[in-house]
Structure formats: structure tokens, C-alpha cells
Amino acid sequence: MTVNHPERRGRLLASLIGVFKAPEWGLVAGILVVLVLIYWLDRDRAFFRAYSLQTLLHRVSLFGVLAVGAGLVIIAGGIDLSTGAVVALASVVSAKLLTEWLRRGGSSSVPPSTGLVWLVIGITLLMGLAIGLFHAFMINRLRLPPFIATLATMAGLRSLATILSQNRTINVSIAAYRVLGSNPWVTLSIFTGVAVFMSVLMGWTVLGRHLFALGGNEAAARLSGLRTRRLKAIAYGLSGTLSALGGILFTGLSGQADSRLGVTYELIAITAAVVGGCSLSGGVGSIRGTVLGLLLTQIVIKGTGIVVRGIDSTQIEGLVLGTVVVLAVAFNQTVRVRRE
């Protein structure tokens, strides 16, 4: 027994060193540096007020659901450009189900039951799953590149949302539905549950290892006996489901369903994944890194809007996201070339 003690200590020490060498620590350091800079430049300390921090966490929770789905697909070697369009369609469909399609014959002044609200949520999530599986069908059976397949649905689904809504906003004032997106702590709880579940799935299960193998080298994964078509269906199905969940949350936040909802949301989600260490070549990344990448980008956007006087954060969001994603991809490519 005493002979094995040094070996056990060595393995334990190696595992601890491995934890602290994880790439996510670089993101944590980056977040701390940005926070220090904001604290130094923001003399009013507006960024660090309780309401401001709560708003930041709420926004991270809303977009975090979308970012986790985007990160999953990228790790599996794909890309999903339809995220924002699925958000819009889920927003319109859930609102129509609540206000019209499932309320025929009933009084519109009487709020729907909690059971009906959950039924609507379930139908909307199933619709997102079906959209994701349709993406996998086009990629697997029709041999379309993921970029083309999801680009096509990005345009088509938004047009469908416009037709269903008749190009008008739909008011949703049902409290049991709105609480999912309007209450910051409920939204944070939903996002935390999604992030933890997906992190465990990708980091601790056989399915997660197979998804990494698929993204790393699809041909090798197929030759190893992995069912690559099924793995793609799982990845895109989960992404579509999470995008539909995002549509429900954003509709609950505003209390209105709108076919214009979700424009550029796919950019925010993909940027978070790339900044978080997900390689666009596939096979590299983590859900933890994606969450930290989203937190970093949102802190930069909000902090810049506060520090730079006369500029709203929404006005510079595109500029910040574009710059950050270019820098992140360039950095990842440089690191990859050095390792090779």
C-alpha cells in the first residue's frame, strides 16, 4: 500500500494541474481584466450597480440558451445560422397557440389554464426539435453543406413567421407564460439548468465523446463504427429545441410575439461559442467555455456603452461582435497551427 501512495499522489497532482490548465481559465482572466478596466474607466460605477448587474445576468441567461445550442453544433462539426429565425417562428407560433389556435370557442378574456400554457410550450419545443431534425435530413440525405441548409431555413422560417403573424405583433399578457422570460431569476434558473445538463452531456457521457469525435474527424468517426447521421440529428435537434426555448423566453420578456424578433441572434450565439474556444473546424470546445465567452462579450458590449459617453450599447453591439469574432477565430487558428 505504501508503494502506491507516491503514484496516487502523482495522479492526483496531475489531475489538479490539468484542471488549472483548462482553456476556460484564460476566459476567466479575460473577464477579470475587462471588469478591472471598466471599474477604472467608469467613475460613476454605473456598471457595478445592482440593477445593471441584474440586467447583464438576465441578458446572458436569455442569449445563453441560444449560445449553448450553437456551441453544441459547432463542436459536432456543423453550423446553425437559423437560430434567430427559429426564435421568431417559435415566438409567433407559441403566441398564436395561446391566443387563437387553442382558444377557439373559449372567451379570450379568460386567461388560459397553466396546463394549456405548458402544452403550448411543449408543442413549441417539439417544433424546434422538428426543425433541427429537418436540418439533419438536408445535411445527411440531400448532402447539403450545413451552411447552405441552415441559411435556407434562416430565410424561409422568418418568412413563415411573417405570414403567420400577418406582419403584426401579437400581444401575450398571460402571466404564467411571461414569467419564463420576464423574471430574471426564473430565466437564470432555466439557463443554468440547460447549461449544466449540456455540460454534463458533452463532458461526461459517451454521447458527448461521440459528438466530439464527429466534429474532430467525421470520416474517422464513421470508420470507427459511429452512427454519424444519428449524431448530427441529435446535435441539430438539440440546437433547434434550444432556439425554440429562446423564442419562448424572449417573447415572455417583451410580452409580444414578432416575426422580426431574433435578427442577428445567431451572430451573438456563434460569437459566444467561438470566443469560448469552440473551433469552427469542429471537435474542440466546451459548454463552459461557451458560457464564459458569452459573458465576456456581453460585459464588453455593456461596459463600452457605459464608458463611452453618448453611445448606447445596442449601437455598437454589431461592431463589438464582429471585432471579437475575428480576433477569436484568428487566435484559435494561430494556436492550432502552432500545435500542429
- Most confident range, picked from 40-54, 202-216, 304-318: 202-216
What is the C-alpha separation between 217 and 283, in angstroms, rounded?
8
Mean pLDDT of the residues in the chain: 89
| 3-state SS assignment for residue 257 | strand
> Which residue blocks in the chain are alpha helix, DSSP H?
4-20, 24-41, 50-75, 83-96, 114-140, 146-165, 175-182, 184-204, 206-216, 218-223, 228-254, 265-275, 287-307, 313-339
Which of the 8 DSSP states describes residue 259? T
Alpha-carbon distance of 282 to 11, in angstroms, equals 30
Least confident span in 26-35, 51-60, 72-81, 253-262? 26-35
Assigned C-alpha cell, 162: 411573417
Domains of the chain: 23-339 (1.10.3470)
What's the pLDDT band for 322 if we cut at 50, 70, 90?
confident
- Does residue 306 or residue 257 have the better pLDDT? 257
Please give the average per-residue pLDDT across 163-170, as a whole number.
94
With cut-offs at 50, 70 and 90, classify the pLDDT of residue 321: confident
Would you state the pLDDT for residue 168? 94
- On whether the CB atoms of residues 134 and 80 are closer than 8 A, the answer is no
Task: Indicate the DSSP class of residue 110.
Answer: S
pLDDT confidence of residue 50: 93
Give the whole-angstrom CA distance, residue 271 versus residue 70. 9
- In 10 A of CB 78, how many CB atoms? 25
- The average pLDDT across 161-177 equals 93
- What confidence score (pLDDT) does residue 257 get? 95
Residue 45: pLDDT band (50, 70, 90) is confident
pLDDT at 4: 55
Query: CA 59, CA 181: separation in Å to the nearest integer?
Result: 10
- Is the pLDDT at 1 greater than 50? The verdict is no
> Grid coordinates 456581453 are at which residue?
298
- Give per-residue pLDDT as tens, 247-271: 999 999 999 999 999 999 999 999 9
Query: Is pLDDT at 14 greater than 60 in this prediction?
Result: no
The Cβ of residue 160 has, within 10 Å, a number of other Cβ atoms equal to 17
- DSSP class of 113: P
The predicted structure's pLDDT at residue 43:
83
Instruction: Give residues with Cβ within 8 angstroms of 207, minimum separation 6.
Output: 201, 231, 234
Per-residue pLDDT band for 2 (boundaries 50, 70, 90) equals very low
Please state, in angstroms and rounded to a whole number, the distance separating the CA atoms of residues 189 and 327: 31
Q: Per mean pLDDT, which range of 70-79, 103-112, 177-186, 235-244 is the poorest?
A: 103-112
Picking from 10-19, 212-221, 237-246, which range would have the lowest pLDDT averaged per residue?
10-19
Q: Can you read off the three cell numbers belonging to residue 323?
A: 471585432
Residue 188 in contact with residue 61, Cβ under 8 Å?
yes
Of 93-97, 239-243, 303-307, minimum mean pLDDT range: 303-307
Mean pLDDT score, 97-114: 76
Candidate from 9-13, 17-21, 326-330 with smallest mean pLDDT: 17-21
Rounded Cα–Cα distance for residues 225 and 187 (Å): 40
Alpha helices in 205-286 (DSSP H): 206-216, 218-223, 228-254, 265-275
